[in-house]
Chains A and B, each alone.
Chain A
Amino acid sequence: MENTAPQLFKITFDGIEIEVPPGTTIMQAARKIAEADATKSHLAPPAMCYYEPLKGSGGKCRACLVKVTAGSAKDPRPMPKLVPSCITTVQDGMVVENTTNEAVLETRRGIVEFLLINHPLDCPICDQAGECHLQDFAFEHGRVSTRYEEERRTFEKQDIGPYIQLHMTRCVLCYRCVFTADQITNKRVHGVLNRGDHAEISTYIEKAIDNDFSGNVIDVCPVGALTDKTYRFKNRVWFTKPVEAHCDCEKCSGNVTLWYRGDEVIRVTARKNEWGEVKEFICNTCRFERKKTSDWVIEGPTTVSRHSVIMANKYRADLKKPDFGLKVAAAQYKQIDDSRPFVTDNNTIRELSKENNAKANQRSLAENN
Protein backbone atom coordinates (compact mmCIF):
# COMPACT_ATOMS: atom_id res chain seq x y z
CA MET A 1 0.00 0.00 0.00
CA GLU A 2 1.23 3.43 -0.86
CA ASN A 3 2.03 5.89 1.87
CA THR A 4 -0.27 8.87 1.37
CA ALA A 5 1.07 10.92 4.25
CA PRO A 6 2.71 14.08 2.89
CA GLN A 7 6.42 13.66 2.75
CA LEU A 8 8.37 16.56 4.19
CA PHE A 9 11.59 17.95 2.72
CA LYS A 10 14.33 18.80 5.12
CA ILE A 11 16.39 21.82 4.17
CA THR A 12 19.12 23.84 5.87
CA PHE A 13 18.77 27.60 5.61
CA ASP A 14 21.67 29.62 7.04
CA GLY A 15 22.48 26.72 9.33
CA ILE A 16 18.91 26.33 10.58
CA GLU A 17 17.15 23.08 9.74
CA ILE A 18 13.48 23.15 8.83
CA GLU A 19 11.01 20.68 7.37
CA VAL A 20 8.67 21.96 4.71
CA PRO A 21 6.19 20.31 2.32
CA PRO A 22 7.32 19.80 -1.29
CA GLY A 23 6.53 22.71 -3.58
CA THR A 24 7.49 25.30 -0.99
CA THR A 25 9.87 27.95 -2.25
CA ILE A 26 13.08 28.84 -0.42
CA MET A 27 11.57 32.23 0.41
CA GLN A 28 8.52 30.67 2.03
CA ALA A 29 10.73 28.31 4.04
CA ALA A 30 12.84 31.24 5.22
CA ARG A 31 9.73 33.18 6.21
CA LYS A 32 8.51 30.14 8.10
CA ILE A 33 11.72 30.21 10.13
CA ALA A 34 11.27 33.92 10.79
CA GLU A 35 7.64 33.51 11.81
CA ALA A 36 8.56 30.75 14.25
CA ASP A 37 11.30 32.82 15.84
CA ALA A 38 11.06 36.62 15.67
CA THR A 39 14.75 37.04 16.39
CA LYS A 40 15.54 35.38 13.07
CA SER A 41 13.39 37.69 10.95
CA HIS A 42 16.46 39.32 9.45
CA LEU A 43 17.36 36.00 7.82
CA ALA A 44 14.46 36.07 5.37
CA PRO A 45 15.62 37.35 1.98
CA PRO A 46 14.26 40.77 0.97
CA ALA A 47 11.55 40.86 -1.69
CA MET A 48 10.73 43.69 -4.04
CA CYS A 49 8.56 41.93 -6.62
CA TYR A 50 7.45 38.71 -4.91
CA TYR A 51 4.02 39.03 -3.31
CA GLU A 52 2.52 35.92 -1.82
CA PRO A 53 -1.17 36.75 -2.41
CA LEU A 54 -0.52 37.39 -6.11
CA LYS A 55 -0.08 34.24 -8.16
CA GLY A 56 2.78 34.36 -10.62
CA SER A 57 4.61 37.24 -8.96
CA GLY A 58 8.31 37.00 -8.24
CA GLY A 59 11.52 36.34 -10.09
CA LYS A 60 11.89 39.82 -11.52
CA CYS A 61 13.77 42.06 -9.14
CA ARG A 62 16.57 39.67 -8.09
CA ALA A 63 16.58 41.13 -4.60
CA CYS A 64 16.09 37.72 -3.03
CA LEU A 65 19.05 35.92 -4.64
CA VAL A 66 20.55 33.21 -2.44
CA LYS A 67 23.36 30.69 -2.76
CA VAL A 68 22.43 27.01 -2.89
CA THR A 69 25.53 25.13 -1.73
CA ALA A 70 23.96 21.70 -2.05
CA GLY A 71 21.14 21.06 -4.52
CA SER A 72 19.59 18.06 -2.77
CA ALA A 73 20.43 14.92 -0.81
CA LYS A 74 20.56 12.87 -4.02
CA ASP A 75 22.63 15.38 -5.98
CA PRO A 76 24.64 17.44 -3.48
CA ARG A 77 26.41 19.57 -6.10
CA PRO A 78 26.02 23.33 -5.55
CA MET A 79 23.94 25.32 -8.02
CA PRO A 80 26.34 27.20 -10.30
CA LYS A 81 24.67 30.59 -10.02
CA LEU A 82 22.80 32.44 -7.31
CA VAL A 83 19.10 31.56 -7.50
CA PRO A 84 16.05 33.74 -6.82
CA SER A 85 14.63 32.28 -3.61
CA CYS A 86 11.06 33.40 -4.29
CA ILE A 87 10.56 31.10 -7.28
CA THR A 88 13.02 28.27 -6.54
CA THR A 89 11.29 25.32 -4.89
CA VAL A 90 13.06 23.33 -2.22
CA GLN A 91 14.57 19.86 -2.69
CA ASP A 92 15.12 17.34 0.06
CA GLY A 93 18.47 17.97 1.73
CA MET A 94 19.00 21.37 0.13
CA VAL A 95 21.53 23.67 1.84
CA VAL A 96 20.94 27.39 1.33
CA GLU A 97 23.14 30.28 2.36
CA ASN A 98 21.71 33.75 2.58
CA THR A 99 23.24 36.15 5.11
CA THR A 100 26.15 33.81 5.76
CA ASN A 101 27.43 34.02 2.19
CA GLU A 102 29.55 37.04 1.28
CA ALA A 103 28.83 36.65 -2.45
CA VAL A 104 25.09 36.97 -1.80
CA LEU A 105 25.54 40.16 0.20
CA GLU A 106 27.83 41.64 -2.43
CA THR A 107 25.37 40.79 -5.20
CA ARG A 108 22.59 42.39 -3.21
CA ARG A 109 24.59 45.61 -2.99
CA GLY A 110 24.81 45.48 -6.76
CA ILE A 111 21.07 44.85 -7.11
CA VAL A 112 20.30 47.90 -4.96
CA GLU A 113 22.57 49.97 -7.14
CA PHE A 114 20.83 48.79 -10.29
CA LEU A 115 17.36 49.41 -8.87
CA LEU A 116 18.40 52.91 -7.86
CA ILE A 117 19.94 53.81 -11.23
CA ASN A 118 16.74 55.34 -12.51
CA HIS A 119 14.97 55.81 -9.22
CA PRO A 120 14.80 59.49 -8.32
CA LEU A 121 16.18 60.31 -4.88
CA ASP A 122 13.13 62.34 -3.92
CA CYS A 123 12.27 60.56 -0.69
CA PRO A 124 11.70 63.92 1.07
CA ILE A 125 8.79 64.53 -1.30
CA CYS A 126 7.56 60.98 -1.82
CA ASP A 127 4.49 59.92 0.17
CA GLN A 128 5.75 56.34 0.40
CA ALA A 129 8.82 57.33 2.43
CA GLY A 130 8.77 55.51 5.74
CA GLU A 131 6.94 52.46 4.42
CA CYS A 132 8.85 52.03 1.17
CA HIS A 133 10.33 48.61 0.49
CA LEU A 134 13.05 50.06 -1.70
CA GLN A 135 14.07 52.42 1.10
CA ASP A 136 14.34 49.50 3.53
CA PHE A 137 16.15 47.38 0.97
CA ALA A 138 18.68 50.11 0.18
CA PHE A 139 19.12 50.92 3.87
CA GLU A 140 19.76 47.33 4.84
CA HIS A 141 21.67 46.07 1.85
CA GLY A 142 22.89 49.01 -0.20
CA ARG A 143 25.90 51.26 -0.31
CA VAL A 144 26.00 54.55 1.53
CA SER A 145 26.43 56.77 -1.51
CA THR A 146 25.63 56.63 -5.20
CA ARG A 147 28.20 56.26 -7.96
CA TYR A 148 25.75 57.12 -10.71
CA GLU A 149 26.43 60.36 -12.55
CA GLU A 150 24.36 60.10 -15.70
CA GLU A 151 20.98 61.63 -16.35
CA ARG A 152 18.14 59.64 -14.83
CA ARG A 153 15.35 58.32 -17.02
CA THR A 154 12.24 60.49 -16.92
CA PHE A 155 8.70 60.07 -18.20
CA GLU A 156 5.92 62.41 -19.16
CA LYS A 157 3.42 62.93 -16.37
CA GLN A 158 0.31 60.86 -16.78
CA ASP A 159 -3.04 61.22 -15.13
CA ILE A 160 -4.65 57.85 -14.37
CA GLY A 161 -7.77 59.00 -12.64
CA PRO A 162 -8.88 60.95 -9.61
CA TYR A 163 -7.82 58.42 -6.97
CA ILE A 164 -4.43 57.05 -7.96
CA GLN A 165 -1.30 59.04 -8.64
CA LEU A 166 1.25 57.47 -10.96
CA HIS A 167 4.89 58.52 -10.69
CA MET A 168 6.47 56.50 -13.46
CA THR A 169 9.99 57.70 -12.59
CA ARG A 170 9.80 55.92 -9.24
CA CYS A 171 8.67 52.58 -10.70
CA VAL A 172 10.99 49.58 -10.34
CA LEU A 173 8.92 47.40 -12.73
CA CYS A 174 8.04 44.75 -10.18
CA TYR A 175 4.79 43.95 -12.05
CA ARG A 176 2.88 43.59 -8.78
CA CYS A 177 0.24 46.09 -9.87
CA VAL A 178 -0.15 44.32 -13.19
CA PHE A 179 -0.76 41.02 -11.41
CA THR A 180 -3.22 42.74 -9.12
CA ALA A 181 -5.08 44.16 -12.08
CA ASP A 182 -5.06 40.72 -13.70
CA GLN A 183 -6.13 38.70 -10.73
CA ILE A 184 -8.19 40.97 -8.52
CA THR A 185 -10.10 42.97 -11.07
CA ASN A 186 -12.26 41.53 -13.81
CA LYS A 187 -10.86 43.22 -16.83
CA ARG A 188 -7.33 44.35 -17.22
CA VAL A 189 -6.88 47.94 -18.25
CA HIS A 190 -3.44 48.23 -16.89
CA GLY A 191 -0.15 46.81 -18.06
CA VAL A 192 3.43 47.37 -19.10
CA LEU A 193 4.17 49.16 -22.36
CA ASN A 194 7.43 49.14 -24.33
CA ARG A 195 10.55 47.19 -23.52
CA GLY A 196 13.79 47.35 -21.60
CA ASP A 197 14.77 50.77 -20.41
CA HIS A 198 11.63 52.29 -21.92
CA ALA A 199 9.22 49.90 -20.22
CA GLU A 200 6.53 51.68 -18.27
CA ILE A 201 3.43 50.85 -16.31
CA SER A 202 0.38 52.45 -17.87
CA THR A 203 -3.27 52.02 -18.58
CA TYR A 204 -4.05 51.38 -22.20
CA ILE A 205 -5.30 54.39 -24.15
CA GLU A 206 -4.97 56.48 -21.00
CA LYS A 207 -8.17 54.98 -19.75
CA ALA A 208 -8.77 55.63 -16.09
CA ILE A 209 -8.90 52.57 -13.89
CA ASP A 210 -12.53 52.40 -12.83
CA ASN A 211 -12.69 48.95 -11.28
CA ASP A 212 -13.98 48.68 -7.73
CA PHE A 213 -10.75 47.15 -6.49
CA SER A 214 -8.27 49.20 -8.50
CA GLY A 215 -7.12 51.05 -5.37
CA ASN A 216 -5.27 47.95 -4.24
CA VAL A 217 -2.44 48.70 -6.66
CA ILE A 218 -1.47 51.45 -4.18
CA ASP A 219 -0.99 48.92 -1.41
CA VAL A 220 0.91 46.37 -3.47
CA CYS A 221 3.33 48.94 -4.95
CA PRO A 222 6.62 48.51 -3.07
CA VAL A 223 7.76 52.03 -3.95
CA GLY A 224 5.99 55.35 -4.35
CA ALA A 225 5.10 54.87 -8.01
CA LEU A 226 1.41 54.34 -7.27
CA THR A 227 0.15 56.45 -4.40
CA ASP A 228 -3.16 57.57 -3.01
CA LYS A 229 -4.19 60.90 -4.54
CA THR A 230 -6.53 61.67 -1.66
CA TYR A 231 -3.56 61.31 0.71
CA ARG A 232 -1.11 63.18 -1.51
CA PHE A 233 1.20 65.38 0.59
CA LYS A 234 -1.27 65.24 3.49
CA ASN A 235 1.30 64.12 6.00
CA ARG A 236 4.33 61.94 6.54
CA VAL A 237 3.71 58.35 7.55
CA TRP A 238 5.51 58.76 10.86
CA PHE A 239 3.22 61.55 12.02
CA THR A 240 0.12 59.46 11.50
CA LYS A 241 -1.30 56.86 13.83
CA PRO A 242 -2.46 53.52 12.44
CA VAL A 243 -5.65 52.05 13.91
CA GLU A 244 -7.40 48.80 12.98
CA ALA A 245 -11.05 49.22 12.04
CA HIS A 246 -13.82 47.46 10.18
CA CYS A 247 -17.13 48.27 8.58
CA ASP A 248 -20.00 46.46 6.90
CA CYS A 249 -19.13 46.60 3.25
CA GLU A 250 -21.03 44.62 0.63
CA LYS A 251 -18.07 44.60 -1.75
CA CYS A 252 -15.14 43.64 0.46
CA SER A 253 -14.32 42.30 3.90
CA GLY A 254 -14.24 45.82 5.34
CA ASN A 255 -11.16 45.11 7.45
CA VAL A 256 -8.84 48.07 7.09
CA THR A 257 -6.18 50.17 8.78
CA LEU A 258 -7.08 53.82 9.36
CA TRP A 259 -4.27 56.35 9.49
CA TYR A 260 -5.10 59.21 11.83
CA ARG A 261 -3.70 62.71 12.11
CA GLY A 262 -5.24 64.07 15.25
CA ASP A 263 -8.93 63.22 14.99
CA GLU A 264 -8.92 63.14 11.23
CA VAL A 265 -8.71 59.99 9.11
CA ILE A 266 -6.32 60.96 6.36
CA ARG A 267 -5.79 57.58 4.76
CA VAL A 268 -7.36 54.14 4.61
CA THR A 269 -5.30 51.12 3.62
CA ALA A 270 -5.68 47.37 3.69
CA ARG A 271 -4.14 45.50 6.62
CA LYS A 272 -0.70 44.18 5.95
CA ASN A 273 1.22 41.27 7.42
CA GLU A 274 4.79 41.46 8.68
CA TRP A 275 6.15 41.12 5.13
CA GLY A 276 4.21 44.14 3.93
CA GLU A 277 1.71 41.99 2.06
CA VAL A 278 -1.97 42.80 2.02
CA LYS A 279 -4.06 40.35 4.05
CA GLU A 280 -7.41 41.17 2.48
CA PHE A 281 -7.91 43.37 -0.53
CA ILE A 282 -10.33 46.24 0.06
CA CYS A 283 -12.64 48.09 -2.29
CA ASN A 284 -12.35 51.65 -3.52
CA THR A 285 -15.36 52.83 -1.52
CA CYS A 286 -13.67 51.83 1.74
CA ARG A 287 -10.35 53.23 0.65
CA PHE A 288 -11.29 56.58 -0.83
CA GLU A 289 -14.78 57.52 0.35
CA ARG A 290 -15.05 56.50 4.00
CA LYS A 291 -12.84 59.03 5.71
CA LYS A 292 -14.88 59.72 8.80
CA THR A 293 -14.46 58.01 12.14
CA SER A 294 -18.23 57.51 12.26
CA ASP A 295 -18.02 55.21 9.20
CA TRP A 296 -15.89 52.71 11.09
CA VAL A 297 -15.86 50.45 14.12
CA ILE A 298 -12.47 50.92 15.76
CA GLU A 299 -10.77 47.76 16.98
CA GLY A 300 -7.59 49.21 18.44
CA PRO A 301 -4.15 50.45 17.51
CA THR A 302 -2.18 48.53 14.91
CA THR A 303 0.83 46.63 16.19
CA VAL A 304 3.88 48.16 14.57
CA SER A 305 7.43 47.03 15.19
CA ARG A 306 8.99 49.49 17.58
CA HIS A 307 11.97 49.77 15.26
CA SER A 308 9.75 51.17 12.53
CA VAL A 309 9.79 54.90 11.90
CA ILE A 310 6.00 54.77 12.16
CA MET A 311 6.44 54.27 15.91
CA ALA A 312 8.62 57.41 16.25
CA ASN A 313 7.36 59.87 18.87
CA LYS A 314 4.40 57.72 19.81
CA TYR A 315 3.52 57.04 23.39
CA ARG A 316 1.65 54.18 24.87
CA ALA A 317 -1.69 54.78 26.52
CA ASP A 318 -0.46 53.31 29.80
CA LEU A 319 2.40 55.81 29.98
CA LYS A 320 2.71 57.00 33.58
CA LYS A 321 2.35 60.74 33.92
CA PRO A 322 4.17 62.45 36.78
CA ASP A 323 1.46 63.13 39.37
CA PHE A 324 3.39 65.69 41.32
CA GLY A 325 4.19 67.86 38.32
CA LEU A 326 0.59 67.84 37.17
CA LYS A 327 -0.67 68.80 40.62
CA VAL A 328 1.79 71.68 40.89
CA ALA A 329 0.86 72.86 37.43
CA ALA A 330 -2.85 72.73 38.24
CA ALA A 331 -2.34 74.68 41.46
CA GLN A 332 0.09 77.32 40.28
CA TYR A 333 -0.51 78.02 36.63
CA LYS A 334 -3.57 79.22 34.79
CA GLN A 335 -4.79 77.52 31.63
CA ILE A 336 -3.17 78.55 28.37
CA ASP A 337 -5.58 80.42 26.19
CA ASP A 338 -4.66 78.98 22.83
CA SER A 339 -7.30 80.67 20.77
CA ARG A 340 -5.23 80.85 17.60
CA PRO A 341 -7.52 80.06 14.70
CA PHE A 342 -6.95 76.49 13.49
CA VAL A 343 -6.90 76.76 9.71
CA THR A 344 -7.41 73.62 7.70
CA ASP A 345 -8.58 75.11 4.44
CA ASN A 346 -5.92 74.45 1.81
CA ASN A 347 -6.32 77.70 -0.09
CA THR A 348 -6.10 79.83 3.04
CA ILE A 349 -2.97 78.00 4.11
CA ARG A 350 -1.46 78.52 0.68
CA GLU A 351 -2.21 82.25 0.75
CA LEU A 352 -0.86 82.58 4.27
CA SER A 353 2.33 80.88 3.17
CA LYS A 354 2.84 83.44 0.39
CA GLU A 355 2.10 86.29 2.75
CA ASN A 356 4.61 84.97 5.27
CA ASN A 357 7.15 84.59 2.50
CA ALA A 358 6.84 88.27 1.66
CA LYS A 359 6.95 89.24 5.33
CA ALA A 360 10.13 87.29 5.84
CA ASN A 361 11.71 89.12 2.94
CA GLN A 362 10.91 92.47 4.51
CA ARG A 363 11.94 92.06 8.06
CA SER A 364 15.30 91.70 9.62
CA LEU A 365 15.75 90.51 13.13
CA ALA A 366 19.28 91.84 13.31
CA GLU A 367 18.26 95.24 14.65
CA ASN A 368 16.20 93.75 17.50
CA ASN A 369 18.93 91.43 18.61
Chain B
Amino acid sequence: MQLTNRSKQVSNKQMTFAERIYLPAIATGLGITIKHFFQKKVTIQYPEVKKNLGPVFRGRHVLKRDDQGRERCTACGLCAVACPAEAISMVAAERQKGEENLYREEKYAAVYEINMLRCIFCGLCEEACPKQAIYLRHDEFVPVFTERDQVIWGKDLLAENMNNRYLRKAWTKEEAREQDIKGIDAKPRTQL
Protein backbone atom coordinates (compact mmCIF):
# COMPACT_ATOMS: atom_id res chain seq x y z
CA MET B 1 0.00 0.00 0.00
CA GLN B 2 1.38 3.38 -0.90
CA LEU B 3 0.60 6.22 1.51
CA THR B 4 2.54 9.00 -0.20
CA ASN B 5 4.24 9.44 -3.51
CA ARG B 6 7.48 10.54 -1.81
CA SER B 7 8.90 7.10 -1.11
CA LYS B 8 12.41 6.46 -2.40
CA GLN B 9 13.80 3.40 -3.98
CA VAL B 10 16.61 2.01 -1.75
CA SER B 11 19.62 0.59 -3.46
CA ASN B 12 20.89 -2.64 -2.05
CA LYS B 13 23.94 -2.78 -4.24
CA GLN B 14 27.01 -4.70 -2.96
CA MET B 15 30.08 -2.54 -2.16
CA THR B 16 33.16 -3.02 -4.30
CA PHE B 17 36.42 -4.32 -2.78
CA ALA B 18 37.97 -0.83 -2.61
CA GLU B 19 34.95 0.45 -0.77
CA ARG B 20 34.88 -2.54 1.54
CA ILE B 21 38.41 -2.03 2.94
CA TYR B 22 37.50 1.64 3.86
CA LEU B 23 41.17 2.76 3.51
CA PRO B 24 40.66 5.21 0.62
CA ALA B 25 37.77 6.91 2.51
CA ILE B 26 39.92 7.23 5.65
CA ALA B 27 42.77 8.71 3.62
CA THR B 28 40.42 11.26 2.03
CA GLY B 29 39.07 12.28 5.42
CA LEU B 30 42.55 12.65 6.92
CA GLY B 31 43.56 14.66 3.87
CA ILE B 32 40.80 17.18 4.54
CA THR B 33 41.83 17.43 8.20
CA ILE B 34 45.52 17.88 7.39
CA LYS B 35 44.74 20.47 4.72
CA HIS B 36 43.30 22.76 7.45
CA PHE B 37 46.60 22.74 9.38
CA PHE B 38 48.15 24.77 6.57
CA GLN B 39 45.24 27.10 5.96
CA LYS B 40 44.76 30.60 7.41
CA LYS B 41 43.09 30.49 10.82
CA VAL B 42 39.65 32.06 11.05
CA THR B 43 39.69 32.35 14.85
CA ILE B 44 40.66 35.72 16.31
CA GLN B 45 42.44 35.70 19.66
CA TYR B 46 40.10 38.20 21.32
CA PRO B 47 40.88 40.31 23.34
CA GLU B 48 44.57 40.30 22.35
CA VAL B 49 43.62 40.66 18.71
CA LYS B 50 40.60 42.67 17.64
CA LYS B 51 38.48 42.42 14.58
CA ASN B 52 37.97 45.34 12.25
CA LEU B 53 34.55 46.67 13.16
CA GLY B 54 33.99 48.74 10.06
CA PRO B 55 34.04 52.47 9.53
CA VAL B 56 30.70 53.29 11.14
CA PHE B 57 30.54 50.77 13.96
CA ARG B 58 28.72 52.24 16.96
CA GLY B 59 30.87 51.81 20.05
CA ARG B 60 31.27 54.08 23.03
CA HIS B 61 30.36 57.75 22.91
CA VAL B 62 32.74 60.64 22.57
CA LEU B 63 31.99 64.34 23.03
CA LYS B 64 33.99 65.97 20.26
CA ARG B 65 36.01 69.13 20.65
CA ASP B 66 36.95 71.46 17.84
CA ASP B 67 40.48 72.18 16.56
CA GLN B 68 41.17 74.54 19.43
CA GLY B 69 40.06 72.04 22.03
CA ARG B 70 36.77 73.77 22.80
CA GLU B 71 33.77 71.60 23.51
CA ARG B 72 31.29 71.56 20.71
CA CYS B 73 28.26 70.56 22.81
CA THR B 74 25.84 73.39 23.64
CA ALA B 75 23.46 71.33 25.77
CA CYS B 76 20.58 71.80 23.35
CA GLY B 77 19.00 68.57 24.56
CA LEU B 78 18.20 67.15 21.14
CA CYS B 79 20.21 63.97 21.80
CA ALA B 80 18.33 63.43 25.04
CA VAL B 81 14.95 63.91 23.40
CA ALA B 82 15.94 61.66 20.50
CA CYS B 83 17.26 58.92 22.79
CA PRO B 84 14.74 56.04 22.79
CA ALA B 85 16.22 54.59 25.96
CA GLU B 86 16.31 57.93 27.78
CA ALA B 87 19.92 57.35 28.70
CA ILE B 88 21.18 60.91 28.32
CA SER B 89 20.80 63.73 30.82
CA MET B 90 22.48 67.09 31.04
CA VAL B 91 22.69 70.35 32.93
CA ALA B 92 23.39 73.48 30.94
CA ALA B 93 25.38 76.48 32.10
CA GLU B 94 26.28 79.85 30.67
CA ARG B 95 29.84 80.44 29.57
CA GLN B 96 31.64 83.03 31.66
CA LYS B 97 34.27 85.50 30.52
CA GLY B 98 37.63 83.74 30.26
CA GLU B 99 36.16 80.36 29.45
CA GLU B 100 36.11 80.92 25.69
CA ASN B 101 38.98 78.46 25.27
CA LEU B 102 36.94 75.73 26.93
CA TYR B 103 33.54 76.02 25.30
CA ARG B 104 32.68 76.93 21.76
CA GLU B 105 29.29 78.54 22.34
CA GLU B 106 27.65 80.80 24.85
CA LYS B 107 25.94 77.86 26.51
CA TYR B 108 27.53 74.54 27.35
CA ALA B 109 26.79 71.27 29.10
CA ALA B 110 28.27 71.53 32.56
CA VAL B 111 27.04 68.04 33.32
CA TYR B 112 26.56 65.48 30.57
CA GLU B 113 25.78 61.96 31.62
CA ILE B 114 25.04 58.80 29.70
CA ASN B 115 23.72 55.75 31.48
CA MET B 116 25.55 52.95 29.72
CA LEU B 117 23.15 50.33 31.08
CA ARG B 118 20.31 52.08 29.32
CA CYS B 119 22.12 52.97 26.12
CA ILE B 120 21.30 50.69 23.21
CA PHE B 121 23.95 52.18 20.88
CA CYS B 122 21.41 53.05 18.22
CA GLY B 123 23.22 56.21 17.18
CA LEU B 124 20.14 58.45 17.18
CA CYS B 125 21.97 60.96 19.41
CA GLU B 126 24.65 61.22 16.77
CA GLU B 127 22.05 61.86 14.10
CA ALA B 128 20.12 64.39 16.19
CA CYS B 129 23.14 66.50 17.15
CA PRO B 130 23.10 69.83 15.32
CA LYS B 131 26.61 70.73 16.44
CA GLN B 132 28.41 67.51 15.47
CA ALA B 133 29.35 67.10 19.09
CA ILE B 134 28.45 63.54 19.97
CA TYR B 135 29.69 60.49 18.11
CA LEU B 136 29.77 56.79 18.79
CA ARG B 137 33.36 55.65 18.37
CA HIS B 138 33.96 53.00 15.73
CA ASP B 139 37.11 51.71 17.40
CA GLU B 140 36.28 51.39 21.10
CA PHE B 141 33.62 49.63 23.12
CA VAL B 142 32.22 50.48 26.49
CA PRO B 143 34.47 48.37 28.73
CA VAL B 144 32.83 45.68 30.81
CA PHE B 145 31.82 47.14 34.14
CA THR B 146 31.59 45.34 37.43
CA GLU B 147 30.52 48.14 39.77
CA ARG B 148 27.36 50.23 39.76
CA ASP B 149 29.28 53.49 39.86
CA GLN B 150 30.97 52.67 36.56
CA VAL B 151 27.67 52.66 34.72
CA ILE B 152 26.94 56.37 34.48
CA TRP B 153 29.54 58.08 32.35
CA GLY B 154 30.17 61.72 32.97
CA LYS B 155 32.08 64.26 30.97
CA ASP B 156 35.44 63.04 32.27
CA LEU B 157 34.95 59.81 30.33
CA LEU B 158 33.03 61.20 27.40
CA ALA B 159 34.87 64.37 26.39
CA GLU B 160 37.51 63.90 23.75
CA ASN B 161 41.14 63.61 24.75
CA MET B 162 43.04 66.32 22.87
CA ASN B 163 46.32 64.39 23.14
CA ASN B 164 44.76 61.39 21.48
CA ARG B 165 42.02 62.73 19.28
CA TYR B 166 39.31 60.61 17.80
CA LEU B 167 39.33 60.81 14.03
CA ARG B 168 37.79 58.69 11.36
CA LYS B 169 37.54 58.68 7.64
CA ALA B 170 33.80 58.80 7.33
CA TRP B 171 31.57 60.55 9.84
CA THR B 172 28.30 59.33 8.37
CA LYS B 173 27.06 56.15 6.72
CA GLU B 174 26.59 58.06 3.48
CA GLU B 175 30.19 59.22 3.50
CA ALA B 176 31.41 55.71 4.18
CA ARG B 177 29.36 54.35 1.31
CA GLU B 178 30.56 57.10 -0.99
CA GLN B 179 34.20 56.44 -0.27
CA ASP B 180 33.66 52.68 -0.12
CA ILE B 181 35.74 52.43 3.03
CA LYS B 182 36.46 48.94 4.25
CA GLY B 183 39.03 49.29 7.01
CA ILE B 184 39.62 51.59 9.93
CA ASP B 185 43.38 51.56 9.53
CA ALA B 186 43.29 53.96 6.63
CA LYS B 187 44.50 57.47 7.42
CA PRO B 188 41.85 59.84 8.81
CA ARG B 189 40.38 62.12 6.19
CA THR B 190 40.03 65.45 7.91
CA GLN B 191 40.07 66.89 11.34
CA LEU B 192 36.65 67.81 12.59
Binding site for B on A (CB under 8 A): 122-125, 129, 232-236, 238-239, 309, 312-313, 336-337, 340, 346, 349-350, 352-357, 359-366, 368-369
Contact = CB atoms under 8 A, between A and B. Distances in A.
Contacts of A336: 148
Interface of B: 60, 63, 69, 71, 74-78, 80-81, 86, 91-94, 96, 99, 102, 105-111, 130-131, 140-141, 143, 148-149, 154-164
A124 B76 contact: yes
Given A313-B81, A350-B93, A350-B96, A369 B155 contact: no
Nearest to A353: B110
Contacts of A313: 81, 86
A312 B160 contact: no
B141 A232 contact: no
A355 B102 CA distance: 11
B74 A124 contact: yes
A236 B102 contact: no
A201 B23 CA distance: 100
Given A125-B74, A349-B110, 14 more contacts: A123-B130, A125-B105, A233-B93, A234-B92, A239-B77, A309-B81, A313-B86, A346-B93, A357-B155, A360-B63, A360-B157, A362-B161, A362-B163, A369-B143
6 contacts: A124-B78, A233-B92, A239-B80, A313-B86, A360-B160, A365-B157
Given A125-B76, A354-B102, A361 B155 contact: no
B72 to A, nearest CB: 10
Contacts of B94: 232-233
A238 B77 contact: yes
A353 B111 contact: yes
Contact of A235 (B92, B96, B148, B164): B92
Contacts of A363: 156-157, 161
6 nearest CB pairs, A to B: A124-B76, A360-B159, A236-B77, A359-B156, A356-B155, A356-B156
Contact of A360 (B80, B99, B158): B158
Contact of A369 (B81, B108, B141, B164): B141
Contact of A349 (B80, B91, B148): B91
Nearest to B76: A124
Contacts of A360: 63, 155-161
Contact of A365 (B93, B102, B140, B155): B140
Contacts of A366: 140, 164
A123 B86 CA distance: 22
A235 B164 CA distance: 32
A364 to B, nearest CB: 5
Residue of A232, A313, A349, A357 contacting most chain B CB atoms (<10 Å): A357
B162 A361 contact: yes
Nearest to B105: A125
Contacts of B143: 365, 368-369
A234 B107 CA distance: 10
A228 to B, nearest CB: 14
A123 B77 CA distance: 11
Contacts of B99: 354
Given A232-B94, A356-B155, A364 B81 contact: no
A282 B157 CA distance: 45
B111 A365 contact: no
Nearest to B140: A369
Contact of B155 (A239, A312, A337, A353): A353
B156 A125 contact: no
Contact of B76 (A123, A337, A352): A123
Contacts of A359: 156
A245 B11 CA distance: 90
A125 B103 CA distance: 13
Contact of A125 (B80, B107, B141, B148): B107
A129 B111 contact: no
Given A233-B93, A312-B81, A353 B108 contact: yes
A357 B157 CA distance: 9
Most chain B CB atoms below 10 A, which of A235, A360, A368, A369: A360
B164 A364 contact: yes
Contacts of A356: 154-156, 159
